[in-house]
């Protein structure tokens, strides 16, 4: 149970993700009283009507408390996934999985479809491929272009592969567009109801941010701040050029931790925050901040140290 305090002004701001447990106005009011500065709408779990409802509720709660509260619209971005599999595919180390460049392909045996047909053009033998947030992994051993194309992957870490599981390609520059049709639709609704920030997922290069800015300008709102989510190693390598066109960055440690070895995440976090400070841009540190408090009333000592280190490294906000 939180302790209500009168003075909640802090230099480091708190971004809170809205969800089913926090949608009603009494709970939103409690969140704002507890110190939330920014409400995040996760478009991965929102349709147009829910975006409108959530914005209206936050505005009413903020007005009631007379507390300035910003709203961050977090666009889903491209989701690279496996196709449909009637029953999970058992894959052992040494098996060769063939990924078919056809979203409608129904997987069986050692074959599965994908929502990412450009994969056949983007990968090369030796590239690492991760499935289901890294639960399964393997290396590309063959690429066959055709109708449809196919990619063979030798499994290193096995398990069961089910339907619509995520696919990650660490170190691969993906040719998939950063903005999807869903993103553009969600963006139009968010701008219409007056969100204050827009976060762009899976940014790889400065051009991705420029594309979003152009879409926002088309709606007459090109001056709304853009937060580039840094989730791929290629984005870390291009952090300076991304910061030159974005208004801020988010250290999205969840997907970044899948794309790179876990020990590199703290190093990349410090590098991103340092670059943002030098560029005079906003920085948000996200993912598993005080994660244990979803189940326990108090954070662990390691979690408090994690938050403190992010602040000492110069983050402007932490995201829950």
What pLDDT sits at residue 5?
43
What pLDDT sits at residue 10?
61
In 3D space, the residue among 131, 121, 142 whose CA is nearest the CA of residue 258 turns out to be 131
What residues act catalytically? Answer: 40, 81, 229, 287
List of the chain residues with pLDDT < 70: 1-10
What pLDDT sits at residue 4?
44
What pLDDT sits at residue 173?
84
What pLDDT sits at residue 206?
97
What pLDDT sits at residue 3?
45
Domains of the chain, CATH where assigned:
13-78+179-319 (3.20.20.60), 89-168 (2.40.33.10)
d(CA 89, CA 99): 12
What pLDDT sits at residue 33?
95
What pLDDT sits at residue 177?
87
């Amino acid at each position: 149970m939180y302790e209500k305090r009168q003075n909640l002004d802090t230099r480091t701001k708190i971004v809170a993700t809205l969800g089913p447990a926090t949608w009603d106005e009494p709970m939103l009011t409690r969140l704002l009283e507890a110190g939330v500065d920014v409400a995040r709408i996760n478009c991965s779990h929102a349709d147009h009507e829910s975006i409108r409802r959530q914005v209206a509720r936050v505005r009413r709660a903020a007005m009631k408390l007379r507390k300035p509260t910003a709203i961050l619209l977090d666009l889903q971005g491209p989701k690279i996934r496996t196709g449909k599999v009637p029953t999970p595919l058992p894959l052992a180390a040494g098996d060769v999985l063939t990924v078919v460049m056809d979203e409608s392909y129904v997987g069986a045996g050692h074959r599965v479809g994908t929502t990412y047909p450009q994969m056949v053009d983007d990968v090369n033998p030796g590239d690492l491929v991760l499935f289901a947030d890294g639960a399964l992994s393997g290396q590309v051993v063959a690429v066959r272009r055709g109708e449809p194309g196919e990619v063979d992957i030798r499994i290193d870490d096995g398990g069961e592969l089910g339907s619509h599981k995520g696919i990650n390609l660490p170190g691969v520059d993906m040719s998939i567009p950063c903005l999807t049709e869903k993103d553009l639709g969600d963006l139009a609704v968010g701008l219409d109801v007056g969100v204050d920030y827009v976060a762009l997922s899976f940014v790889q290069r400065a051009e991705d941010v420029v594309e979003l800015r152009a879409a926002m300008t088309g709606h007459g709102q090109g001056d709304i701040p853009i937060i580039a989510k840094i989730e791929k190693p290629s984005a870390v390598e291009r952090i300076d050029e991304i910061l030159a066109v974005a208004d801020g960055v988010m250290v999205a440690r969840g997907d970044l931790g899948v794309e790179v070895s876990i020990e590199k995440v703290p190093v990349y976090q410090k590098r991103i925050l340092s670059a943002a400070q030098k560029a005079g841009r906003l920085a948000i540190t996200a993912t598993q901040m005080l994660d244990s408090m979803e189940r326990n009333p108090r954070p662990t000592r390691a979690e408090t140290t994690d938050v403190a280190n992010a602040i000492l490294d110069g983050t402007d906000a932490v995201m829950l």
